[in-house]
Amino acid sequence: METLEILESLLHGFKFLLWAIATHLFHYRQNFFHWSLWVPVIALYFLAAILLLAEFYPAAWVLTLLFITLVIVIATHLWGFYLHFDGVGKRVGGQNVHNHMVGPPIILPLIVATVAAIDLLRLLQGRF
pLDDT higher than 80, residue 27: yes
Q: How many residues does the chain have?
A: 128
Amino acid code (one letter) for 48: A
Q: What is the mean pLDDT of the chain?
A: 93
Domain ranges of the chain: 3-14+35-124
pLDDT higher than 80, residue 128: no
pTM, to two decimals: 0.91
